[in-house]
Amino acid sequence: MSRPADIPAEARVRRVMDRYMTECQTNGTRPSVLSLATKLGLSNTTFRRHFPDLAKETSTVRPNPEPATAAEKHPSPYEILAARNAKLRRANRSLTENLRFAAAQIQHLAVDNAHLREALEASSKVTRIDRTGRPGH
């Protein structure tokens, strides 16, 4: 378990937040609650828990992203192919894992079945007749 974080005073948080917002406007970047929390040495969750109003204020200040240019709207054929390839690789990996799991389950069931047959034969005093060794078949 982690140790409790040292929660700074709201006045200090406000000063850091104002500096951060000014910095974001100067750089043309979008402010984020996570970045602000990191500047204060807090986790995102801790910051949101102790300063919900400031977190909400930071979130509402975020400008909407600029609309994508025409080149960004339509991916190239190579990008489409690369995305499809990545999707197929993920699906293949998932199916391979499922196949391994199914094979392991079948092996486990086969072992259980053999143990149950042995227990049944022992309890009912029945001997098994091997079908492969019978003459004429």
The one-digit pLDDT tens for each residue of the chain (137 residues) are 455 568 888 889 899 889 988 988 888 888 888 888 888 888 888 889 998 888 888 888 765 555 555 545 688 888 889 999 999 999 999 999 999 999 999 999 999 999 999 888 888 876 667 777 656 55
Token code pair at residue 98: 């499922």
Q: Report d(CA 82, CA 68) in Å as an integer.
A: 21
Other beta carbons within 10 Å of 47: 25
Can you give the residue ranges of every domain in the chain?
A: 10-61, 73-124
Please state the pTM of the whole predicted model: 0.43
Other beta carbons within 10 Å of 11: 8
Contacts of 22-31 spanning 24+ positions with Cβ under 8 A: 30/62, 30/63, 30/65, 31/58, 31/61, 31/62
